Amino acid sequence: MVEASANLDRMILLAGGEFRMGSDRHYPEEAPQHLVGVKGFWIDPVPVTNRQFTDFVAATGYVTVAERPLDPAEYRGAEPEMLAAGSLVFHKTRGPVDLRDIRNWWTWTPGASWRHPEGSCSNIAERMDHPVVHVAFEDAEACARWMGKDLPTEAEWEFASRGGLDGADFVWGNELSPDERQMANYWLGEFPWQHICADGRERTSPVGCFPANGYGLYDMIGNVWEWTTDWYGAKHRADASSPCCVPQNPRGGTKEASLDQAQPHAPIPRKVVKGGSFLCAENYCRRYRPAARHAQMVDTGMSHIGFRCIVRKGGEDD
């Protein structure tokens, strides 16, 4: 695979520094809040778009995980129709449902992929400037490497997302809708059945539609979740009571510890995704915040997960 060279002129250089990572006031997996340091790096101002991913696939012939039939040996007990190439697609429900069961709004859809976000009858012709979705971790990593870039660690992503507002709830401050203004693409109304959106859009939006954060970065919360390189752990490993030794660009837990103990039949390791998506709502998954984090199986893209890339200074990998 021939790799491109990163165009740093189109990226934003962050000097690095220390910040308070995580939160003690929201979901338990965000705790404990702790001081972290990161070195300087360049970061893309927006998530990778369908246009950019199209260029990657055209240059390399890459086939994403969602476009490959599943190996029955790796998914024992799965129904034959579940082994067909496809992905999980969100569908708005007709009315209120049990929010404890995600099967009420997620549907395995054969033919769904980055080219066909809602299934084989859909396409991205009018969404070339939307973030690419249905990309599994290895898809995002392959595209990043082809562009001469990397995926961020969780600490790097959160540092960038905060835009210099250390400890703030959102990337613009502590109020979700200052002056009743919607600042990001998230769900308005009662999830997953009622969406109050003035522009009629209920899924992804073109990148850069909403205000940038203090570092000039767009869509750091809402629109799509973004992959990081960290293995998921139920809590941050740092000890908030020991501020004497500030960890530098800490990694998450181990691959083995990232497995979902509630699903022993599906031993698929999980990475941390950040930022929330167009499905985050006040009544469900209030994770449209820099501190928020979520576990995602590495083999699963879904219709609300994308990524953005970084380049570390000097090419070092902390």
Rounded Cα distance between 211 and 138, Å, is 30
C-alpha count within 13 angstroms, C-beta hemisphere, residue 38: 28
At position 186, the amino acid (one-letter code) is Y
**Which residue positions in the chain have pLDDT lower than 70?**
1-5, 72-82, 198-200, 238-244, 315-318
* pLDDT tens per residue across span 158-179: 999 999 999 999 999 999 999 9
Rounded Cα distance between 265 and 175, Å, is 41
* pLDDT tens per residue across span 22-78: 999 999 999 999 999 999 999 999 999 999 999 999 999 999 999 998 776 666 566
- Neighbouring CB atoms inside 10 A of 175's CB total 12
Rounded Cα distance between 87 and 75, Å, is 15
* pLDDT for residue 50: 98
* pLDDT for residue 200: 66
pTM of the model: 0.93
- Look-up: residue for tokens 């009743």? 180
Q: Mean pLDDT over all residues of the chain?
A: 91
Cβ atoms of 155 and 36 within 8 Å: the answer is yes
C-alpha count within 13 angstroms, C-beta hemisphere, residue 295: 21
* pLDDT for residue 193: 96
Strand order in the sheet with 225-231: 293-297, 270-274, 225-231, 305-306
* pLDDT for residue 317: 58
* pLDDT for residue 87: 96
Q: Which stretches of the chain are DSSP H helices?
A: 50-60, 137-146, 154-162
**Which one-letter DSSP state was computed for residue 277?**
-
Architecture of domain 1-68+84-318: Alpha-Beta Complex (3.90)
How long a stretch of residues is the chain?
A: 318
For the chain, state the CA radius of gyration. Answer: 19
